[in-house]
């Protein structure tokens, strides 16, 4: 069954180490995609997400501009990143692992996300929604995001490990809409 992402109740967030002493938090404000969530057999679920890289928001316009530049995402040449699932592994009733291909700057690598299923609820407007939280981490260098600066005190300006935190609220689509 096709489910639409409710963008007003969904988030694609990340954290990265800054100067090896703190974390920078950011989000991608614009993303879309389809999730074919199989309630009866979650392992049959498929996910296809596209993220607009120009929508990056770290609450610092200068940093956001640098992240959009050729030093990082090169948004002018590669405006989106995509995630396409390859399989779902069910761990228990409410938890699983989502395997998929993440493409950034024309480089595709497998990532694994730990997913928690929060359940299904009916809204006051008659729609049915499902909630999911997903977490994982990647090494940014695997996707050619290698820019960095060595610090005078040792270490580097930007950490390699990027933690991903995704919250998705999905709205079930009527059969007629999915046909």
- Dist. CA 40–CA 80, nearest whole Å: 32
Under DSSP, the state recorded for 71 is T
Which residues on neighbouring strands pair with residue 17, listed in sequence order?
Answer: 23
Which residues on neighbouring strands pair with residue 35, listed in sequence order?
Answer: 3, 47
Which stretch of DSSP H or E encloses residue 67?
helix 61-68
- Give, rounded to a whole angstrom, the gap between the first and last alpha carbons of the chain: 10
> Residue 163 is part of which domain span?
2-178
- Walk along the chain (179 residues) and give the pLDDT tens digit of each residue: 789 999 999 999 999 988 887 999 999 999 999 899 998 999 999 999 999 999 999 999 999 999 999 999 999 999 999 999 999 999 999 999 999 999 999 999 999 999 999 999 998 989 899 999 999 999 999 999 999 888 888 888 889 999 999 999 999 987 654 44
Domain count, the chain: 1
Sequence-ordered list of residues with C-beta below 8 angstroms from that of 74, at least 6 positions apart, any chain: 68, 105
CATH number for position 34: 2.40.128.110
Supply the pTM of this predicted model.
0.91
């Amino acid at each position: 069954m096709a489910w639409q992402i409710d963008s007003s109740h969904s988030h694609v967030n990340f954290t990265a180490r800054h100067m090896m002493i703190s974390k920078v938090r950011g989000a991608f404000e614009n993303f879309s995609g389809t999730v074919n969530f199989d309630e009866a057999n979650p392992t049959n679920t498929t996910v296809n997400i596209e993220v607009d890289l120009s929508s990056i928001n770290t609450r610092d316009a200068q940093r956001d501009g640098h992240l959009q530049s050729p030093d990082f995402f090169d948004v002018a040449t590669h405006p989106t990143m995509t995630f396409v699932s390859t399989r779902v592994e069910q761990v228990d009733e409410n938890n699983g692992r989502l395997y998929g291909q993440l493409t950034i700057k024309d480089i595709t690598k497998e990532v694994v996300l730990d997913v928690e299923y929060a359940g299904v609820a009916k809204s006051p407007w008659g729609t049915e929604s499902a909630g999911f939280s997903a977490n994982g981490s990647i090494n940014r260098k695997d996707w050619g995001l290698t820019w960095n600066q060595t610090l005078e005190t040792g270490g580097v300006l930007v950490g390699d490990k990027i933690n991903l935190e995704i919250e998705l609220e999905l709205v079930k689509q009527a059969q007629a809409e999915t046909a």
